[in-house]
Chain A
Amino acid sequence: MDQQHLVRMANSIGDFFEAMPDRQEALGGIAGHIKRFWEPRMRKELMAYVDAGGHGLQDIVREAIAGDRIA
């Protein structure tokens, strides 16, 4: 899977949930959304990208994924 495409997709999810006033809810929303809608190989690929530094991912997305291992 194209990692940069996955990064763009994850960041757009982050854009939506970042507007929530409750940061914990936003973090849970991001991780929950990816778990509910992304097929495992996409999650695994994104997880690997995060583990490799996650360059280009928004902070809130990286934090959400790091806090709730989505794969």
Chain B
Amino acid sequence: MFKLTETDYGTPAKTSDAQVTLNIDGVDITVPCGTSLMRAAVEAGILVPKLCATDSLEPFGSCRLCLVEIEGRKGYPSSCTTPAESGMHVLTQTPKLQQIRKGVMELYISDHPLDCLTCAANGDCELQDMAGVTGLREVRYGFDGANHLKEAKDESNPYFTYDPSKCIVCNRCVRACEETQGTFALTISGRGFESRVSAGQDQSFMESECVSCGACVQACPTATLQDKTVIMLGQPEHSVVTTCAYCGVGCAFKAEMKGNEVVRMTPWKDGKANEGHSCVKGRFAWGYATHKDRITMPMIRAKITDPWREVSWDEAINHAASEFRRIQASCGIDSIGGITSSRCTNEETYLVQKLVRAAFGTNNVDTCARVCHSPTGYGLKTTLGESAGTQTFKSVEHADVIVVMGANPTDGHPVFASRMKKRLREGARLIVIDPRKIDIVDSPHVKADFHLQLRPGTNVALVTALAHVIVTEGLENKKFIVERCEEKAFNDWQEFVCRSDNSPEAMAAVTGVPADILRDAARLYATGGNAAIYYGLGVTEHSQGSTAVMGIANLAMLTGNIGREGVGVNPLRGQNNVQGSCDMGSFPHELPGYRHVSDDVTRGQFEQAWGVTISPEPGLRIPNMFDAALSGSFKGLYCEGEDIVQSDPNTQHVAAALMAMECIVVQDLFLNETAKYAHVFLPGSSFLEKDGTFTNAERRISRVRKVMPPKAGKADWEVTVALSNALGYVMNYTHPSQIMDEIAALTPTFHGVNYEKIDRLGSIQWPCNDEAPEGTPTMHVDQFVRGKGRFVITKYVPSDEKVTRKFPLLLTTGRILSQYNVGAQTRRTANVAWHTEDVLEIHPHDAEDRGINESDWVGIQSRAGETVLRATLTERVQPGVVYTTFHFPESGANVITTDNSDWATNCPEYKVTAVQVMPVTQPSEWQRKHQRFSALQDDLLKQRQAGAIALTTK
């Protein structure tokens, strides 16, 4: 349980080696130099009245409530804007101050509705509090003069209301939009009495540039910007700190509750990943957890054309277990496997891989990181020695040069993007490497120094060319290379990159990036101070994904940009627990802690702990499972929390593989696309319904805390335990903390992790063990995990997906701010107000060549398949490139993507598909088939519901 209202120190904390000691109201207090008087007072336990100040924002000094008296100084300075100085004697409460504050409050209240009893902020209103503190008893001015009391509300945003009648023009919302979020969507329009908060140019919030991050709502001291759920439900009565279930930033939130009902999710300011900030998904889009589409009864059926039959947990679990054993008896031990998900907790993914290895007796286990960041695991392990990013998010505050490559942080990792943009506004330089002109290339007060707008599929050529410039111009960090890296590997690599065919001039024909721009960008990266690379799926989801990751690591080692704050190699993970699901041994070749199954010592430890024999051979990866299913040797699948039919490439290939299997068990919140091919459905539990941990992109292990009982009666870890027990392999856990204890006992990088320590510290970045009992914020400080860093030769190999006369354009895919992954969660929230369908971005020139106008239906055809989307004409994409998202199943974005994959890991090449785009008038054949199939499956689900009603009404 956590306090509903946290202490507000009024102004941000300052860090300084110098300390100052002063006296406030008779109390001596020592604070870092630069600390405001207001914050010093709060740290001394003294609350100074305030309205325009809050500790997430720089002081503004407008409300005139926080005035103080300082001995020896004239006047009444505002404590929020006055820095503490040694020897000061400060008084915060005097008759004169009380008189001034009361007068100020009287003016505020003269233009404020007196509806406290029916106001949504009643009990959580700083204006109300200040009226009480200042002893305001009457308003001498009356309420008959000019006022704002009748101004209309703006209810356009689905999640919060803007009520200008309650606005005190404290500017906190405007400053939050600027300082915290970095969007600059809000302003104060008008002057004097006319001053009002305005979204955009006197637009509604929905019409404006507002990204609905909630920072303004969080900052508002009154009911002016208020969550609609609070208006509807009233104030929460308790709160629980937990971790967001969306992207790899892993924001800490307070689930503010009324009993078992969530009233709102507010970002926890002590959360180290987000430091009190949020995005539209984590802050507001949690309604899916209680959506009517949730399936809360286990179901089974013999064939996928049969209606579902609701059964008890025991019957469903026993049926699944007996089917798996039947298949293994007839087709062999390795004829079944399991898939876990980055949407699952560490404890859940650990249990799934344990179940597969120990109860199934095979290594056929994989996780959805296969299709996103598996190349990160391979590439960073090979070069640096550990399959993880090297920094904290906070490290970006020390970066002088920021490289964003193949990532779109403002959409995919918005809270980190805000932290990054703040540093950029402070003067850090920015290099963007992306085929599209993503928002951060040119946004308010942030402009990239270089946008290397390369052709899709040429990352390796570009990265190698950057290295060529650095080496041939003598800009490398020789000392770092000599001391920290393998000599032979470096010499071999140096000879390779210095070749003229790796020069920017030679590579320009491949990448499309002018050589002079690339050279300047390389020089900036090498000489601009602390340089940090942040990358995403635009790097990994290629046929050379692993090579590109190694190329990035080469650059960091070459310039010595690793092993301290402000630098490093930073994979931005797509989902919340990508890092964790990989850490937990979900890959078929690795046991927890990234140790190969062929390693006898490691395998022996697990065999002893688990009491089974583990195969020393790697199992099937997800795409291999599909191939094996189609060739008849893989027939059973346990799939927890992942929608492979929608998210994996070449949808028709995946669907055919599933239809070739005999028993598919899906454990999920909803009857997702994969579940439509399933024989057993086990209801999953949302992140609000279970305990566990997530590990974010900075290796930070944070607690997921149960705030309500599982809607189906079992948390996901309990379902896996039940399945294992039914298979005859007994698991006796009674709480996820016991699972973490087992993980810690068996995994060297987790030896020091336990729930008590996470609760005490708030979160822990692994490695956490005897050498680093409280975790490791920055990796590879004195030496690399593998000892010496290893440079790896990164020869550019063109993708097989080449443009031809038949397929003259390159399709690349990605995601958008308001939707998440396959959309199973966000499509079931009001986030659809921003994005109701996937559209195809096409350059106006390509559109004109094809007679395509804005919003026309267009067919997108590749060698894998065809789908139809609406077109939007935009110069965000370069000529020759088209782009779409994959948030809606009916879009069929992955009907087009192919089964090409990364050479090392089989991570699909989502980012490069040769296509043709032409105007059409009707959905594609696949879409018509999908519509019929979905209608059939919906009907089979309804028949289950009808049966249930009939049973209960008898």
Contacts and interface: CB of A to CB of B under 8 A. Distances in A.
B624 A42 contact: yes
B617 A20 contact: no
Contact of A9 (B363, B547, B793, B906): B906
B899 interface: yes
A39 B618 contact: yes
A50 B899 CA distance: 23
Contacts of A8: 800
Interface stretch (B627-635, B802-810, B820-828): B627-635
B180 interface: no
Given A5-B627, A19-B793, A38 B904 contact: no
A37 B589 contact: yes
Contacts of B589: 36-37
B364 A2 contact: no
A1 B627 CA distance: 6
B90 to A, nearest CB: 66
Given A5-B899, A37-B904, A21 B797 contact: no
B672 interface: no
Interface in B219-273: none
A16 B618 contact: no
Interface string A25-45: 000000001001111111000
Q: How large is the interface on B (under 10, 10 to 19, 20 to 34, 35 or more residues)?
A: 35 or more
Nearest to B488: A22
B483 to A, nearest CB: 24
A2 to B, nearest CB: 6
A2 B631 contact: yes
B797 A15 contact: yes
A60 interface: no
A36 B906 contact: no
A10 to B, nearest CB: 9
B334 interface: yes
Nearest to A20: B793
Interface in B883-911: 899, 901, 903-906
Contacts of B800: 8
A41 B492 contact: no
A42 B620 CA distance: 9
A14 to B, nearest CB: 9
B619 interface: yes
Interface in B603-622: 617-621
A41 B628 contact: yes
A9 B908 CA distance: 12
A64 B596 CA distance: 22
Given A2-B627, A15-B903, A16-B547, A41 B334 contact: yes
Contacts, number: 68
Contacts of A9: 901, 903, 906
A11 B655 CA distance: 27
A12 B797 contact: yes
Nearest to A34: B618
A33 B904 CA distance: 8
A68 to B, nearest CB: 15
B596 A21 contact: no
A39 B899 contact: no
A12 B631 contact: no
Contact of B904 (A2, A13, A18, A22): A13
A6 B543 CA distance: 14
A16 B364 contact: no
A2 B904 CA distance: 18
A21 B618 contact: no
B795 interface: yes
Given A1-B628, A2-B630, A21-B492, A16 B596 contact: no
B389 interface: no
Contacts of A39: 334, 363-364, 588, 617-621, 624, 628
Nearest to B899: A5
Given A16-B903, A20-B492, A38 B793 contact: no
A58 B954 CA distance: 69
B596 A36 contact: yes
B159 interface: no
B293 interface: no
Contacts of B633: 1, 41
Interface in B527-555: 543-544, 547
B288 interface: no
A24 to B, nearest CB: 13
Nearest to A10: B903
Contacts of A22: 492
B631 A19 contact: no
Given A21-B492, A21-B496, 6 more contacts: A1-B628, A5-B627, A16-B795, A19-B496, A39-B364, A42-B624
Interface of B: 334, 363-364, 492, 495-496, 543-544, 547, 588-589, 596, 598, 617-621, 624, 627-628, 630-631, 633, 793-795, 797, 800, 899, 901, 903-906
Interface of A: 1-2, 5, 8-9, 12-13, 15-16, 18-22, 33, 36-42
29 contacts: A1-B627, A1-B631, A2-B627, A2-B630, A2-B631, A5-B899, A8-B800, A9-B903, A12-B903, A13-B903, A13-B904, A15-B797, A16-B547, A21-B492, A21-B495, A36-B589, A36-B618, A37-B621, A38-B618, A38-B624, A39-B363, A39-B588, A39-B621, A39-B624, A40-B617, A41-B628, A41-B633, A42-B620, A42-B624
Minimum-distance CB pairs A-B, first 10: A12-B903, A19-B795, A15-B797, A19-B793, A39-B620, A1-B631, A40-B617, A1-B627, A13-B903, A21-B492
